[in-house]
Amino acid sequence: MSLEHDFKIITDNCYDKDVSTGDMISISDDLIEFAVPEIPYGELYQAGFFDHKKAKLIIIWGSKISRNRQIIMLRKLYPELKQLSTAEIYKIVQNNKQQWEFTEMGRGNASDIADAGKMLGLNIKVEEMD
């Protein structure tokens, strides 16, 4: 992709409405405005940001979606859980009736997993560790 595709650059004289007064104002040639795309936490983490911050991922079991379905979705979001058998996960779930701290990882990756889980209807909490 080109820079023009990623950023909207305004370099010509143009006019815009002043929000506070409603007057038309001139935007000078040397003013460059661009929209910075949002970067996922996971990519920032891989680039070296947040590497000193760790977090716990905790799923809080909801009542709207069956636990069985929540476990299946959680295993898809966090493939390392596939190392545990389904029977082992159910045993853990029985011992932790309200919530389960299922992993510790970097803050960036934890936020990405929690956001993806929220879109699926899961209640995953990220707790920063010292």
Residues 104 and 51 grouped into a single domain = yes
DSSP letters for 95-114:
H-SSEEEEEEEEHHHHHHHH
Instruction: Say which amino acid occupies 66.
Output: S
| CATH code for the domain of 89 | 3.30.1390
Residues 18 and 52 grouped into a single domain = no
- What is the distance between the terminal CA atoms of the chain, rounded to a whole angstrom? 39
Q: What is the pLDDT of residue 77?
A: 92
Residues 90 and 105 grouped into a single domain = yes
Q: What is the count of structural domains for the chain?
A: 2
Q: What is the pLDDT of residue 47?
A: 67
Residue 12 banded pLDDT, cuts 50, 70, 90? very low
Q: What is the pLDDT of residue 6?
A: 38
Domain that holds residue 70: 41-129
Residues 107 and 45 grouped into a single domain = yes
- The predicted-structure confidence for 78-119, as pLDDT tens digits, reads as follows 999 999 988 898 888 888 889 999 999 888 889 899 999 999
- CB neighbours (10 Å) of residue 61? 17
Per-residue CA distances from 32 to 28, 35, 78, 109, 116 (Å) = 9, 10, 41, 33, 34
